[in-house]
Amino acid sequence: MTTSITLIQPDDWHIHLRDGQALQTTVPHAASSFNRVICMPNLVPPVKTTLDAIAYRERILTALANSTLSEERKASFDPRMVLYLTDHTSPKEIEQAKNSGVVQAVKLYPAGATTNSADGVTDILGRASVFEAMQKHGIPLLVHGEVTHADVDIFDREKRFLDEILSIIIKNFPKLRIVMEHITTGDAVDFCLAQGEHIGATITPQHLLFNRNHMLVGGVKPHFYCLPILKRADHQQRLLEAATSGNPKFFLGTDSAPHATHTKESACGCAGCYSAPHALPLYATAFESMNALDKLENFASRFGAKFYGLPVNTSTITLVKQEQTIVQSYDYLDNKSLTPLLAGQTLAWRVDE
């Protein structure tokens, strides 16, 4: 029986750190396990320009410097920035992003698709000049793959996006590198597999471990509510198979998204699961369920770096088969709390500190 796993230090290719005082909580949690993190730009206001991205990165690094993490962890943490694609993003902005050295990608949120996406693109196929510039400069497009038409069932939004939007972008811009973020369906797995090496996908711990029954049976459980929403068990199984397949198209992206507890546990609860502090034990649990712990390092530490054309980390982190109980909550903002995914429950794995 495996009792410990030592991995190359992983990166998180999709995370929400938020801004302001929230960074005091989220940045140390992310930096405790991950080296590079792709920081989502859906702030208020969004990170729309290279100057916005540089300023946001400085705020993240200030929070890191003020944390109690070891100097080694502080030195290793590298937040990589993302621009929020809008109807007004210009090719010139893409060139500036490339030249900045800190902007790693551009994020496509269909308007209204998720938290703070009101400034998202309303005419996705009308962004041709921007996609051409991204293709020219080698900047990946990160897609929240859902349509937002009111008449489309929420469980069908991802499939419709693949058929109606993403397939056309790929056809029109055949050299544009694209990450299908937080995929949730077997349809997305099949779509990704059918594309060239320039198309990859991230998979979250919640979509590997849970399906919509976990969220709905026995009463609505708001801390399982995220977007894209959890799907049927057969889709969950396809994601597990993809993540543990050893195919480099699939890599780690937690989509860890903090919301104050009172905004999650409300009549109109926010979408997002907060997993950053214990993401690696969650992934280990999922991979162990497939008897595939030997595939975890590539998924967590190699494939994402390869896709982004970055060097693999040289530091390591060790997981031990030792039970831990997830804390009920963290301090968050002014006198508020942040409830993590699986709060109060026991995981079989923990990070060896």
**Is 0.75 surpassed by the pTM of this model?**
yes
What average pLDDT score do residues 184-207 get? 98
For residue 155, what pLDDT is reported?
96
Q: At residue 196, does pLDDT exceed 80?
A: yes
Question: Is 12 one of the annotated active-site residues of the chain?
Answer: no
For residue 119, what pLDDT is reported?
67
Confidence of residue 116 (pLDDT cuts 50, 70, 90): low
Token pair recorded at residue 311: 């060097």
Q: What is the mean pLDDT of the chain?
A: 95
What average pLDDT score do residues 223-240 get? 97
Q: What is the rounded CA–CA span in Å between residue 67 and residue 60?
A: 11
> Is 17 known as a binding-site position?
yes
For residue 148, what pLDDT is reported?
85
> Is 14 known as a binding-site position?
yes
What average pLDDT score do residues 91-101 get? 97
> Is 18 known as a binding-site position?
yes
What average pLDDT score do residues 119-146 get? 91
Contact of 245 with 265, CB cutoff 8 Å: no
> Is 319 known as a binding-site position?
no
Span 303-330, pLDDT tens digits: 999 999 999 999 999 999 999 999 999 9
Confidence of residue 118 (pLDDT cuts 50, 70, 90): low
Contact of 349 with 284, CB cutoff 8 Å: yes
> Is 259 known as a binding-site position?
yes
For residue 113, what pLDDT is reported?
60
Span 21-62, pLDDT tens digits: 999 999 999 999 999 999 999 999 999 999 999 999 999 999
- Where are any strands of DSSP class E within the chain? 4-8, 12-15, 36-39, 78-84, 103-108, 141-143, 178-180, 199-203, 250-252, 316-320, 324-325, 330-332, 336-338, 346-347, 350-351
Of 259, 271, 328, 333, the closest CA to residue 23 belongs to 333
Contact of 305 with 312, CB cutoff 8 Å: yes
> Is 255 known as a binding-site position?
yes
From 87, 255, 331, 334, active-site residue: 255
> Is 78 known as a binding-site position?
no
What average pLDDT score do residues 129-156 get? 95
Token pair recorded at residue 15: 């995370």
What average pLDDT score do residues 264-292 get? 96
- The percentage of the chain sitting over the pLDDT mark of 90, rounded to a whole number, equals 91
Q: Which tops the pLDDT comparison, 243 or 117?
A: 243
Whether residue 140 is preceded by a cis peptide bond, meaning omega within 30 degrees of 0, is no
Span 340-353, pLDDT tens digits: 999 999 999 999 98
Confidence of residue 254 (pLDDT cuts 50, 70, 90): very high
For residue 52, what pLDDT is reported?
98
| Whole-Å CA distances, 287 to 242, 244, 282, 342 | 11, 7, 9, 17
| Whole-Å CA distances, 195 to 109, 115, 171, 178, 179 | 21, 29, 10, 10, 12
Q: At residue 245, does pLDDT exceed 80?
A: yes
Q: How many CB atoms lie within 10 A of CB 9?
A: 18
What average pLDDT score do residues 167-194 get? 97
